[in-house]
Each structure stands twice: as structure tokens, then as C-alpha cells.
Amino acid sequence: MTQIHATALVDPAAEIHSSVSIGPYTVIGPHVKIGAGTTVGAHCVIEGRTTIGQDNRIFQFNSLGAIPQDKKYAGEPTELTIGDRNTIREFCTFNLGVPGAGGVTSVGHDNWIMAYTHIAHDCHVDNHTTLANNTTLAGHVHLADWVTVGGLTGIHQFVSVGAHAMVGFASAVSQDVPPFMLVDGNPLAVRGFNVVGLRRRGFTPERIAAVKQMHKLLYRQGLTLEQSRNGIQALASELPEAAADVDMMNRFLASATRGIAR
């Protein structure tokens, strides 16, 4: 049986799996869908066209699916989607998307999202990320898999942060952060690459050596970005075990729209 506290207000049109738990004084709107095994704490508001997957743990005092903080928004039917097995701590705010930009804000699977995190309209947070307290994502931000963001960090609209990158405490991120890099500060600076994170995820010594070489080409040899990219491309044949990592870096650099942190 669905465990819905007597004080919760759940619209009859909402689609709530029978195994979902909903805490006291929580409000669930008519277009909300919540999958099996998810728990929602007390005093949450989940509204809009919000779809939440399975086995999420949503703590008290969260606002999910509210209209975007965008003056152009005029009530269009945009969405928020949240995948499976996410932990969402207290006082987080995730907004719907806006028309013209896909209209969907998305959070993937297995993310650890700490208190007071804001995920604005049309952001896309992939999988296995860790967002520490007071992480703030402006509109259209993309965080790839395994990104870690330190507390009190703000990320500018349209910025992309590549897979396995780590952003340190109290940083101001206004340019794209390439995969694997370790950055922090205001102004932002690249401090190295995320070797500890890569080891924890089982990267082989050969793959770590390739990432180290990519970091060197981008940041330690005084090369232009084009020269760096040419050098990185050559690594695919020199270190075939890391070919997928090299390809990911090259694709990221080719698609960067705000310039990269350098």
C-alpha cells in the first residue's frame, strides 16, 4: 500500500506507485508521476509536469517542478524529469524547462544532491554526480557523468562540465570545464586533473597516464587550443586503451560554446 501521511495533499490525478512513501504536509500536483520505492519527506512541494523514477530518497522541504525563474515563461507545458536512485537532501529547488530550449530539465540516475542545491530550467545533470551544499546551476547548464561540485559554487548559464571533472569549494564557473580536470577559485583556475577520482573509479594506470598527458597538452606546454587538440588526437593511437577517453575529450573541446577554463 502507498504510505501517504494523512496531512499530505496528493491530487487524485497524480500517478503514484503503490510502494511510494509521502510524508506529512507534502503537496503533490496533478501532473506528477512517482515511481516505485521512492520516498518523499515532509513539507515538500512537487508540482508541474514532473516525473520521478524509482528508489529515490527525497528529504523534507524540497521544491521540485516549480515554474522556471525566467521572465519569458508564460505557463507552457514544460517538464522536469528525475531518474532512479537519487538522493536529494533538504531545501533543494529544481525548476521546469522553458520553451525553445527543449523544455525539459533533467536529472539522471544515482546522483547525490546535497542541501540548498538549485537546478534551474533546462539544466541536464547526468549520472553519479555529487553536488555539495549550495551548488547553484543557472539555466542550460550540463553536468556530465561523475562530476563533483564543491559547496557554495555557482555555475553560469550554458556552461558544460565534462565527465569526471571536479569543481572545488566556492568557485565561480563561467567557462566550460573539460573532462577529468580539477578546477577551483574565483576567477576559476585549472589546478590539475582529478586523479583521485579516476583511481576510485577503477581507471587503469594507462588511462590515467593518457589523462595526465591531455592535461599537459592543454595547460602546461603553452600551446594554442588547436595545437593542444591535435596533440590530444594523436594520443588515441599512442595509448589505444585510452582511445575512448581521448575521443570524449576531443568531442567536448569541439563542442565547447563558452570557451574552456584555461
User: How far apart, in whole angstroms, are the C-alpha atoms of residue 232 and residue 224?
Assistant: 12
Q: Label each residue of 49-83 as H, E or C.
A: EEEECCCCEECCCCEEEECCCCCCCCCCCCEEEEC
122 annotated active-site: yes
Do the Cβ atoms of 185 and 171 come closer than 8 Å? yes
For the chain, the first-to-last Cα distance in angstroms comes to: 54
Please choose, from the candidates 206, 25, 242, 166, the residue with its C-alpha nearest in 3D space to the C-alpha of residue 10: 25
Strand partners, 88: 58, 113
Do the Cβ atoms of 43 and 25 come closer than 8 Å? yes
Cα dist. 172→31, 36, 167, 168 in Å? 35, 37, 9, 10
Catalytic residue among 35, 83, 108, 139: 139
121 annotated active-site: yes
Residue 48 Ramachandran class (φ > 0 left, ψ -120 to 50 alpha, else beta): left
Catalytic residue among 41, 48, 65, 121: 121
Catalytic residue among 31, 53, 84, 122: 122
User: How far apart, in whole angstroms, are the C-alpha atoms of residue 33 and residue 55?
Assistant: 13
User: How far apart, in whole angstroms, are the C-alpha atoms of residue 189 and residue 91?
Assistant: 30
Q: Break the chain down into helix, strand, coil percent, rounded to 5.
A: 20, 30, 55
31 annotated active-site: no
Indicate the angle between helix axes 225-238 and 243-255, nearest 10 degrees. 160
Looking at the annotation, which residues are catalytic?
A: 121-122, 139
